[in-house]
Structure 1
């Protein structure tokens, strides 16, 4: 069992930025049409913004406001698919026998986002990048709670997924639209999460775990479950 408080949260998806936007979506959730919209990261200098992919921009847009006022804030970044569009572009150049960009490669690796975060914020606290399965939210929570138990006064958890290129549509079906969710976690017992075993054919949740969590938070649910394969995560609020 892990215990924690959610001190604050932020989320972004195309057309969904404010709490009111997410409240409306949670009541009538749906899939958005393909969009090239990207979040506002004007708090960064233009020269620095240019290097950021949409995945990185999403992570920064939800994480930066939550980190304000916190010194030495550890970060846990979780994404199942990571910089898939960048990787696809590199593979396309390779197939076309075109020269590869060292910059593109360096920014395509899974821990590139936390590297950029460290540089742009001057942050030297512990940071972790996780490539987890469909329950990456809970695996990120385990990592974050371990840091809280070691004495961190707060930990920032960011979960984000980018829309994969069309070529991957047959294999990646768990990203309904690009999204990012940021959680500022602190020590406490407002929330408890436990793990139990379930059937291998457990019903798949209609939305990714991080988006389901937002729905539960906005609806004021005190108890719910997230299932992935044989793992069933039981959430309980003590608010």
Structure 2
């Protein structure tokens, strides 16, 4: 695999905003504290807080399912940190599982004689529901893509976002989110904790004080090595939750540690990001 520009390491973007939400943390600052203080994890209650994204109007927020609220919350965090206007930022949303609660509900209802689905739940069942809530609530006027690739979702969403950022020369928000799988799916999706994160990317050289620089290259899948995360709960989150495959990159960002971060794209290919500060 080569980059769309024809040579390796030709796609370079700057990172200007981060959002995070998951078990024991509500935002990027709290996740950074957890990374920096491994012993802190022993004292935490590893229960996922309920996100309440204020950018979604109250009536719509009450109807929004957890995956949507999580995705919009971290997107808003990253946008606020960047200082950019939402109308100028394209977005890529990635979820490996989608909303398994609604999927289970729909499958159960469709086995009944009446087959009467809730219009609201049907409306929220589509994979681009989070992108729809975000673009409407934030006034986003740019493109909005939604990606699903199970455990490869994080890498493919980052690949799409970085290419779009450089090729279209525009800011791109990449949001990754997956909530705990419904009990009926646990044998297939061993995901017991919810997680969401957002990264706001801009074309290289356009930000005054970027948080980091990301350079895209490509490698073989054999190069993918799980990060050494500071707590067993984070390690389990990384292994089981497709969106949490970004935790290794977030750990590098929190520590301001330059180096490679690799994401699997398929059984044969992987995306390598070279991170520098």
Q: TM-score range by the shorter chain?
A: 0.7 to 0.9
Q: Residue 158 of structure 1 contacts residue 181 of structure 1 at CA under 8 Å; is this kept in 2?
A: yes
SS in 1 for 2:130: helix
> 1:152-176: CA deviations, max 9, x gaps?
4311110011111111111113x35
What is the deviation of 1:137? 2.0
**Compared with structure 1, are the counterparts of its residues 146 and 166 closer, same or farther at alpha carbon in structure 2 (3 Å cutoff)?**
same
Q: Which residues of 2 match residues 19-30 of structure 1 at below 5 A? A: 19-27=28-36, 28=38
Q: Residue 223 of structure 1 contacts residue 234 of structure 1 at CA under 8 Å; is this kept in 2?
A: no
What is the deviation of 1:141? 1.9
Q: CA separation in 1, counterparts of 2:268 and 2:256?
A: 27
Provide the aligned length of Structure 1 versus Structure 2: 236
SS in 2 for 1:8: strand
Q: Does 1:216 align with 2:252?
A: yes
Q: Residue 32 of structure 1 contacts residue 177 of structure 1 at CA under 8 Å; is this kept in 2?
A: no
Q: CA separation in 1, counterparts of 2:16 and 2:89?
A: 14
Q: Does 1:61 align with 2:73?
A: yes
Which structure carries more helix by proportion? 2
What is the deviation of 1:33? 5.0
Q: Residue 137 of structure 1 contacts residue 209 of structure 1 at CA under 8 Å; is this kept in 2?
A: yes
Q: Residue 24 of structure 2 contacts residue 47 of structure 2 at CA under 8 Å; is this kept in 1?
A: no
Q: Does 1:145 align with 2:162?
A: yes
TM normalised by structure 2 equals: 0.75
**Compared with structure 1, are the counterparts of its residues 93 and 106 closer, same or farther at alpha carbon in structure 2 (3 Å cutoff)?**
same
Q: Does 1:4 align with 2:13?
A: yes
2:134 is aligned to 117
> 1:158-198: CA deviations, max 9, x gaps?
0011111111111113x351111011101117211322124
**Compared with structure 1, are the counterparts of its residues 178 and 97 closer, same or farther at alpha carbon in structure 2 (3 Å cutoff)?**
farther
Unaligned runs of 5+ in 2: 1-8, 206-212, 228-234, 239-243
Divergent runs of 4+, >6 A? 29-32
Q: Does 1:38 align with 2:31?
A: no
**Compared with structure 1, are the counterparts of its residues 226 and 149 closer, same or farther at alpha carbon in structure 2 (3 Å cutoff)?**
closer
Q: Which residues of 2 match residues 1-239 of structure 1 at below 5 A? A: 1=9, 2-27=11-36, 28=38, 35=48, 37-68=49-80, 69-70=84-85, 71-98=87-114, 99-173=116-190, 175-188=191-204, 190-199=213-222, 206=235, 207=238, 208-228=244-264, 229-239=267-277
Q: Residue 72 of structure 2 contacts residue 133 of structure 2 at CA under 8 Å; is this kept in 1?
A: no
Q: CA separation in 2, counterparts of 1:48 and 1:143?
A: 29
